[in-house]
Structure 1
């Protein structure tokens, strides 16, 4: 059997290097900065799926181990408790005045660019003496690619041997109405394709954009490969990951001549944790710079020109804390969610640029709130139309059972 390109688990040398990396970043870390006591806040999207919420809590526990000198807490935008404000409350109760907030997101679309910064801004504006600094998303990173490769290799190791040049890889991303985030998924696909030497590769998305999973897999069946590897490039489990696997089973049943292999999602792979640690440290080092060159809120990205300078705001307050047994968190009557303060969140803009840009909530054309749930809003959200809303291969999310 040919030597695998990726280890199915991290090697002992890699684990040692990761442990040394974490030790180096924490042993000498100051407990306070010029702004006060330091704490870490991990900001997740949230899910109605209890297993997904539990996996995110596990991630936060890993970061507590990585930063033993700093208080670490976490919270969600919606559909789970604790909400982000709860985690910030707990950090402040421990004397934290300098919060290093990291988004639990693979790529920067509406949630990382707008929703989380809006919640953090609102909180900081009502708590004098508190400074919140925001990390960049995990993004394209060699460690993330190695973690993805290890997950794919796990699937290959468990399956009968088929030559790599007779195998097609399908990488499935979340999908967003932000072309920069979508293009990053495609780049991950290409890096994995070339890294392994697969015969071909395709990129699909679970919702919002195109192609969706089922049409992408059907296309893959027409390309003449003996095996198709389906890899959800997701951090955690949930409804969407299960739908991806279900769609894979459905297409496989229609094409018994092709072997379909389902690779595991990223979860808390050690290299994922190491990347999170690095994102937190980048804040203190002044290196937490998001990609503004392709940001549709700053530049004239083809097809999205009208979204430059849209207001930075979040509309998750009506679903905070519900979905997994939590109690909805209400802002109270008269709450104005269109606050006017700006949030740099690591974008290193030119002087005077306030980054009060738009809210890209990753919705499809009928505003069906394409997250891991079927929630539909009945109120005004001022979303800009997605230019490919009527594309024949999307962008509505995968059909629900």
Structure 2
């Protein structure tokens, strides 16, 4: 039983579900649980932790345990920026929770985003490194490289640049540059070499990440290599955000926004909602679903699992079932469960069955998409789910009479 469920009665039927990403490193998962416990003490409401992937409990499992004991659940997201997890995965999970638990009210909070408390925390992290290097931004030229993970979502990457600029404003740094570990540019090594041309007295590489893992170590390694190559510049890397109490200030604000219906999301610059130059193919529910499906395969391509806690164990096939309103009314939830049971019973099928957002084929559902094959089935019933598994997933034989389209 969840801790929140055990204590929910003393909090008048309200609870919070804190959703972290999840990691293969249990230390990172434990940080999420520590923040959940600290947030519960701060706001006086029961708080449970759940994870998007790579750790337990999942969001559906946590909600199933929590919902029977409370009247209202606020889902608060422990994500730094608004990319696909924030914009698609969590809202889809909450929509399913509303269908599964109609007597419970679910509110969805925003990601951590840009917040004054986070700027104060970054300022302190920078000051710690300055003290280590014997530098003083008031007397020396101190440059900062604010390093985030990097995303394929331009909205998320833009927030890194905004944070960098806000950290620079009103402070005596010679420069504050936004940079990334990968996925997008500029990468940290590129930024450090560019900063060296300014010949600052000191350079602080600041990892903008929650946990201390592979990526933060990469920031340290690249910074150490830079310091060896440019001996005339003192350089060192700072610590990640960790479980600093100022994160609780942000989470408490996001909780209040969720429960009062005052959440603000950057929909005007969301690539899934509006057409942005260079990202036209990502617009729309079906495009968003396709990107979510390829997320797993992209990580699985990495060779060294031990070196990257975000690598996924990719199945041979990924099956997405539309659970949007129209398909749900036609019985897609039952199809989803039938597919999952058939895969569990099969000795041949190596597939993951997940929900998806709207596939843009309203009126032709329930819709089921099989990837990487690119086969979409329409009008799928529970008996058809058995055939999809026994023929398509087990033997790679397409069930032709229910094919809607192929991509």
Alignment TM-score > 0.5, same fold:
yes
1:97 aligned onto 2:89: no
Q: Would the aligned equivalents of 2:137 and 2:172 in 1 still touch at CA under 8 Å?
A: no
RMSD between aligned residues: 3.4
> CA distance change for structure 1 residues 379 and 334 in 2, over 3 Å: closer, same or farther?
closer
Residue 279 of structure 1: CA displacement?
0.3
Residue 42 of structure 1: CA displacement?
0.7
> CA distance change for structure 1 residues 113 and 221 in 2, over 3 Å: closer, same or farther?
same
Secondary structure, aligned partner of 2:143? strand
> CA distance change for structure 1 residues 381 and 81 in 2, over 3 Å: closer, same or farther?
farther
Question: Hey, what's the Cα distance between the residues in 1 that align with 2:112 and 2:60?
Answer: 22
1:338 aligned onto 2:322: yes
Name 2:167's counterpart in structure 1. Answer: 192
Q: Write the mapping of 1:63-82 to structure 2, written as runs, cut at 5 A.
A: 63-68=39-44, 70-82=45-57
Q: Write the mapping of 1:292-307 to structure 2, written as runs, cut at 5 A.
A: 292-307=267-282
Secondary structure, aligned partner of 2:170? helix
> CA distance change for structure 1 residues 58 and 329 in 2, over 3 Å: closer, same or farther?
farther
1:223 aligned onto 2:198: yes
Q: Which of 110, 121, 135 matches 1:136?
A: 110
1:148 aligned onto 2:132: no
Q: Which of 42, 45, 54 matches 2:21?
A: 45
Residue 356 of structure 1: CA displacement?
5.2
Name 1:255's counterpart in structure 2. Answer: 230
Name 2:339's counterpart in structure 1. Answer: none
Question: Hey, what's the Cα distance between the residues in 2 that align with 1:379 and 1:47?
Answer: 25
Q: Would the aligned equivalents of 1:309 and 1:356 in 2 still touch at CA under 8 Å?
A: no
Name 2:344's counterpart in structure 1. Answer: none
> CA distance change for structure 1 residues 171 and 277 in 2, over 3 Å: closer, same or farther?
same
Deviations 1:152-197 (A, max 9, x none): 1222233313445511110001211111110110111111122322
Name 1:127's counterpart in structure 2. Answer: 101
Name 1:109's counterpart in structure 2. Answer: 83
Secondary structure, aligned partner of 1:268? coil
Residue 40 of structure 1: CA displacement?
0.5
1:180 aligned onto 2:155: yes
Secondary structure, aligned partner of 1:281? helix
> CA distance change for structure 1 residues 316 and 156 in 2, over 3 Å: closer, same or farther?
same
Q: Flag the structure with higher helix content.
A: 2
Question: Hey, what's the Cα distance between the residues in 2 that align with 1:208 and 1:62?
Answer: 33
Question: Hey, what's the Cα distance between the residues in 2 that align with 1:248 and 1:379?
Answer: 40
Gaps of 5+ in 1: 1-29, 343-354, 359-377, 383-401
Residue 230 of structure 1: CA displacement?
0.5
Question: Hey, what's the Cα distance between the residues in 1 that align with 2:176 and 2:372?
Answer: 40
Residue 317 of structure 1: CA displacement?
11
> CA distance change for structure 1 residues 297 and 252 in 2, over 3 Å: closer, same or farther?
same
Q: Flag the structure with higher strand content.
A: 2
Runs of 4+ aligned residues of structure 1 deviating over 4 Å after TM superposition are: 162-165, 312-319, 322-325, 333-336, 355-358
Name 1:13's counterpart in structure 2. Answer: none
Q: Would the aligned equivalents of 2:74 and 2:108 in 1 still touch at CA under 8 Å?
A: yes
Query: TM-score, with normalisation over the residues of structure 1?
Result: 0.69
Q: Which of 71, 88, 93 matches 2:63?
A: 88
Query: TM-score, with normalisation over the residues of structure 2?
Result: 0.68
What count of residue pairs does the alignment treat as equivalent? 311
Structure scoring higher RCO (CA < 8 A, sep ≥ 6) equals 1
Question: Hey, what's the Cα distance between the residues in 2 that align with 1:255 and 1:317?
Answer: 37
